Amino acid sequence: MDAELTRSLVVAADLLANAQAVAVLTGAGVSAESGVSTFRDARSGLWSHFDPLQLASPEGFAADPGLVWRWYMHRLAAVEAASPNPGHLALVQLERLTPGFTLITQNVDDLHERAGNVHTLHLHGHIARFFCQTCQTPYTLRPEDRTAPMPPVCRFCPGYIRPGVVWFGEILPERELRAAWQAADACDLFLVIGTSGVVYPASQLPLRARRHGAPIIEINPEASELSPLADICLRGPSGVVLPHLVAQMHRR
Ligand code: BJW
Ligand code: ZN
């Protein structure tokens, strides 16, 4: 680890240890070290010639429901095969060490829950939940659906079954979004981890925190849209940086 990162880790650990309310926003980068592809880097392998941003939309589903269904079944299998990485596990430690802790994720996987975080707000839904796109009835996935060329059809109407995620142009779940706004408004420290920060309204959360003076710490190997807001940028993979950060808090 370079000297600058070590210095920044000490300052960040001090801020965290003194904070009474911490809000954390995670993105796809947190799951990258578990083998789950990020969106804007998902240009390798079987699905490399499709644009994930095109597929993750109502228009993409309407244009080719079979393609979108097969993409989600492929990604669901990847999520199920993945395990939480040291970054996820460090966030569990952080939840235990911090009095007011709110974990907000844009991820549709359940790796934060499987790591052991108690409360996680999922702004973009869950990849393992399904419902009818027409009548909204929840649907339980059958083994044969996983390899089907087309999405299953609803038992109650002619609608296709779709994953329980939030696509572009769709409204985020109201309860989660409201709780996330409240956490951003009430926190005295905001952590942004593994997100490009380009997707609204999640990208506005650190801005809200900043507006009332909460320091922002970013953990990301690359600069993001949110880097200019950050007081401290910890440049490295979250699976490496987060365990160091928690260890530094214990060392104080
Ligand atoms: C590491 C790492 C390691 C790598 N460790 N880090 C024009 C202007 C402003 C807004 C809009 C606009 N036009 C439309 C909008 C609104 C739109 C939007 O924001 N679009 C932008 C693209 C411009 N937003 C919406 O539509 C939202 N709804 C909404 O706003 O409703 C009201 C409304 C409706 C209609 C019109 C206007 C307003 C809904 C957004 C839903 C997003 N859904 C998705 C798909 C979910 C389902 C699925 O998984 O398939 O959510 S898109 C995708 O992006 C997914 C992610 O959660 C989200 C964010 O991506 P994330 O997590 O940041 O991943 P990446 O890949 O972008 O970045 C990874 C990062 O990790 C990088 O920085 C790496 O460096 C880093 N990294 N390895 C740490 N080891
Ligand atoms: Zn239906």
Structural domains in the chain?
A: 1-33+84-124+172-252 (3.40.50.1220), 37-81+125-165 (3.30.1600.10)
State how far the Cα of 69 lies from the Cα of 75, in Å rounded to an integer: 10
In this prediction, residue 51 carries a pLDDT of 85
Residue minimizing CA distance to atom 50 of ligand 1: 56
Tell me the three state secondary structure of residue 229: helix
- Average pLDDT score, the chain: 95
Query: Which residues carry out catalysis?
Result: 124
Report the percent of the chain where pLDDT is more than 70: 98
Q: What is the token pair recorded at 249? A: 């808090």
Which residues pair with residue 220 across a beta bridge? none
State how far the Cα of 111 lies from the Cα of 109, in Å rounded to an integer: 6
Residue identified by tokens 């600058």 is 4
In this prediction, residue 45 carries a pLDDT of 53
Is ligand 1 within 6 A of the CB of residue 221? yes
Taking the CA of residue 195 as reference, the ligand 1 atom at the shortest distance is: 63
Is ligand 1 within 6 A of the CB of residue 39? yes
- pLDDT tens column, 19-43: 999 999 999 999 999 999 998 776 5
Tell me the three state secondary structure of residue 111: helix
- pLDDT tens column, 54-103: 899 999 999 999 999 999 999 999 999 999 999 999 999 999 999 899 99
The overall pTM is greater than 0.95: yes
Is ligand 1 within 6 A of the CB of residue 84? no
In this prediction, residue 42 carries a pLDDT of 60
In this prediction, residue 6 carries a pLDDT of 93
Residue 124 CA, ligand 1 centroid: distance in Å: 9
Residue 210 CA, ligand 2 centroid: distance in Å: 43
- Residue range 150-164: mean pLDDT, rounded: 98
Tell me the three state secondary structure of residue 51: coil
State how far the Cα of 142 lies from the Cα of 26, in Å rounded to an integer: 30
